[in-house]
Each structure stands twice: as C-alpha cells, then as structure tokens.
Amino acid sequence: MANTVLIVDDAAFMRMMIKDILSKNGFDVVGEAENGQVAVEKYTELTPDLVTMDITMPEKDGIQALKEIKAHNPNATVIMCSAMGQQAMVIDAIQAGAKDFIVKPFQADRVLEAINKALG
C-alpha cells in the first residue's frame, strides 16, 4: 500500500510542486493544508504516514503545528520545508521532533531522499 502524505504550505504553487513529485513516485497525497491550524486538524482526521510542513505560514506557523501534531502522536513523521536562511527555525523544528528538512526551491531527488529516509 502506498504511503500517505499530508502537504502543508501556504503557497498553492508549492503544494502543487510537492504533490506532483510525490504522486509521480508512488505516494498517496491524502490532504493539503494552507496553514498550521488546518494542518493539525487534517493530521488528526487523516493520520497520514508523513507530513511535509512549511515553516513560515499565517495563523499558525509550521513549528507550532509540528509541536501540536507530535503532542497528538509522538510517532508522527514530519519533514519541514524552508527557504534558505532559516537555519535557526530548522534547528527549532528538529528539536521539536521533525525528522528532516527540505530547502526551497524543491529538487525532486532531495525531496524523495528525505521522505524515504524519514519513512525508512
């Protein structure tokens, strides 16, 4: 059975890019969220195998959403997505339980490498 993924990013274009990479490589994208609040709700509803989580979003940022998801399920697998220059936030995310991070703009091989490693 394909691994299920929830994609979280406030930019529809970025969600589409990740969805395209994952769908072409056998993953089942079961949901999308445009901010951290929706991400937590969808995670609880869908319990995907993996979450790709943008860091900087309106309403609730990715790090706060990560903490809430990990509180709900300590075994949740979350990979953070960040722009260059957000190293401090990436460190915060890893300390909060993120498995890995991918840097924008996305490169398909790096996305797949991070996801396969996190799920392995």
Structure-model confidence comparison of residues 72 and 82, the more confident one: 72
Question: How many H-runs (helices) and E-runs (strands) does the chain carry?
Answer: 5, 5
Q: Tell me which of 1.10.3720.10, 3.10.20.30, 3.40.50.720, 3.40.50.2300 is the CATH number of domain 20-119.
A: 3.40.50.2300
Kindly report the length of the chain: 120
Give residue limits of the domains in the chain: 20-119
End-to-end CA distance of the chain: 15
Between CA 24 and CA 65 the distance in angstroms is 27
Residue 74 predicted with pLDDT over 90? yes
Average pLDDT over residues 77-104: 89
Q: Which residues pair with 54 in a beta bridge?
A: 81
pLDDT attached to residue 106: 87
Structure-model confidence comparison of residues 18 and 105, the more confident one: 18
Residue 77 predicted with pLDDT over 90? yes
